[in-house]
Amino acid sequence: MERTSLHPSERGNIRLSFEYFPPKNEEMETQLFQTVADLASFAPAFQTVTYGAGGSTKARSLTTVRRMIGEMGFRNTAAHMTCVGAPRSEVDAVVEEFLACGVHHFVALRGDPQGGVGSAYQPFPGGYENAAALVKALRARGDFEISVSAYPEKHPESRDAAADIDMLKRKVDNGATRAITQFFFDNDHFERYLDQVRRAGIDVPIVPGILPINNLSQVMKFAGLCGSTVPDAITSRLAHLDDQPAERFREASHIAAEQIVDLVRRGVRDFHIYTMNRSPLVAAVCELLGYVRSPVKAEERAVDESIKTAAGAR
C-alpha cells in the first residue's frame, strides 16, 4: 500500500537493527535462533541481546551472544550490560567475558531497581552508580561502540525532561556513541525530544525504538511501566480485532510501517526494532517498507539446518 511504502532512494540509506532477549528454555531457544536467522536476510546493521538487571540472565545472555557471534557468524551482535544490583568487580568480569566472545558493541544500561519497576533505585554498594558511570568504565576498556538508552516521553524516575536529557548528556560525554530510545508510537514526541537533545549539545545518533504490536494488551502494560503512551488512534485500530488474527496481524504491520515511513520523511535514517524474538510481524513490516530479502548464503543455510536438526532431536 502507498501509505507504507518507501521510494528506493529513501530506503537505500536506512539502517535497521534488531533486539532479542535470551531464551528461558529449549523451545524458546529454537524459536530465537530461527528468528535471528530469518531476520538476518534483511541485513541489519547490528543486533542486540538483552541482559537482566543484577545478572539475572547472565548465563543465558552470554550463551546467546557466544552462539550468535561464534556459531552463526553475526559479528555485529551487541551485548546489553546493566550495573544495578552488582559490585563493580562482578560487572567488570562479565564485560571481560563478553569481550572474549568477540563483542565490539555494548548497550550500557543502569537496569531496573532491584525491587522492580516503580520501586526506588539505590546504587549497589561498591557498584557503578548509574549508566553514565558504566559507560565511562566501558570506554576506558577500549575503542568500541557504546549505545545507551533515551526516553522521548521521559524516564518514569526522572523528575522532568531536563533531568532526563542531562543524564543522556552525561552518558555521551563519558563516551557513548549512540542512543536508542524506549519504544514510542507518537512521532511528534520523538521530534520534540530530538530538538531538545540537539539544543543540549548532544550530537550522537538518536535511534528510534520501534515496537510492532504483537499483543495490544501486553504492549499497553509495558507502556504503563515505562512511561510510554499508546495513542487512541492506534488502540482503535487493533482493540476490536482480538478474534481476527489475520486482520490484526495486517493492521499491526501497517501501523509499524507507517510510523517508520513518517519518521523517514522527517529525516530519520536509523531504526531499532524490538522483535520480541518473533520474526513474522517484523518481516512483514520490512517487506511493507519495500525491503527485499538478501539471498541466503551457504553458511546461513547450514545454520538453519543445524537449528532444525537440534529442534528435531529434542
Out of 2, 10, 19, 153, which one is annotated catalytic? 19
19 is catalytic: yes
Q: C-alpha angle 231/235/239, rounded to 5°?
A: 170
Quick check: 20 and 44 in contact, CB under 8 A?
A: no
> C-alpha cell of 246?
489475520
Catalogue the active-site residues. 19
